[in-house]
Amino acid sequence: MHILVVEDHPTLGPDIKRGLENNNYYVDLVATGPEALARAYKFPYNLIILDVLLPGLNGWEVCQQLREHQQTAPILFLTALNKVDQRIKGLDMGADDYLTKPFAFQELEARVRALLRRDQTPQAPVLRFMDISLDTRTHEVQRGDRPLTLSSKEYALLDFLMRHPHHVLSRDMIAEHVWDYDAEHLSNVIDVYIRYLRTKLCAAGEPDVIHTVRGSGYQLKEPTL
C-alpha cells in the first residue's frame, strides 16, 4: 500500500513516515500543499494523510482541489484544529476521516487500516511487467523462466519501479523509497544500483526496460523499437 503523508512539522512528519514503514507501507513525505498536489496527481496513492496548516496551500485547499480533479484516494486529516465545526468542514470537503493532534500512533494505525479496507482495488501479490514477475510474498523474481538473485536494495528498487510502470521516477523519489534518505549524497549510488539491476535483468540478452530520462530520473517502460 502506498501512502502520502503531508506534514510540515520537522520531527512529526518523519516519525509518522518511519512508523508506517515499520508496518510495511510505502510512504512518501512532503511538507507543503503544492508538493502534495504534485505527488497526488502523479501517483495513485491508496491513502493521503493530510495536515491542515501547511505552507503554500492549506490542507482544506489541497483536499478540495484533489476532489475537484476526481482524485478518489481516501484522505485522513491529521491536525491540531479540533473544533467541531473544523472537523465538519474537513469531512464536508471530501475527507474520509479526521484525527486531532496530539494522538496515539496506535490510533492512527487503526484508522489507516480502516480506510485502506475501504479500498476495493485488489492488490495482486505478484507484480508483473512484460516478462518480469516479482512475488511480494516470497521475494522471488523471474524474467521469463529465468530466476533472478537480487540483493535487498536491488529488490526494493525493482519493486518500486514495478509499482509505478511508465512513471518517471526522480532520484529523490528513489532515494526516499529505497534508502530512506534524500538523494543529495546518493545520486551515484542510485545510478550504480540501476546498472546492477539492468545487468541482472538483461543477463540472457533480454531487452532493457529501465530507461534513463535525462535530467529527470528513470522509467520502467517497454523497449523502444
**Percent share of the chain, pLDDT over 90:** 51
| Amino acid letter, 140 | E
When pLDDT is averaged across residues 156-175 and rounded to a whole number, the result is 88
What is the C-alpha separation between 157 and 216, in angstroms, rounded?
17
Distance CA(209)–CA(131), nearest Å, equals 10
**Segment 73-115, tens digit of pLDDT:** 899 999 888 778 887 887 887 888 888 888 899 999 999 988 8
pLDDT tens string 116-133: 877 555 456 789 999 999
Give the bridge partners for 27, in sequence order: 3
Reduced to 3 states (helix: H, G, I; strand: E, B; else coil), residue 5 is: strand
* Stated length of the chain: 225
Predicted confidence (pLDDT) per residue in 178-217, tens digit? 776 555 556 688 999 999 999 999 999 999 999 999 988 9
CATH fit for domain 2-117, picks 3.40.50.2300, 3.40.1480.10, 3.40.50.300, 1.10.3720.10: 3.40.50.2300
Architecture per CATH, domain 126-220, reads as Orthogonal Bundle (1.10)
Query: Are domains 2-117 and 126-220 of this chain identical in fold?
Result: no
User: Would you list the domain boundaries of the chain?
Assistant: 2-117, 126-220
CA distances to 99, 195, 203, 213, 219 from 222, rounded to whole Å, are 43, 17, 17, 14, 10
Q: Which residue has the higher pLDDT, 125 or 67?
A: 67
184-212 residues labelled b (16+ CB within 10 A) or e (exposed): eebeebbeebbeebeebbeeeeeeebbee
Confidence of residue 22 (pLDDT cuts 50, 70, 90): confident
Distance of CA 145 to the CA centre of its chain: 30
Q: How confident is the model at residue 225 (pLDDT cuts 50, 70, 90)?
A: low
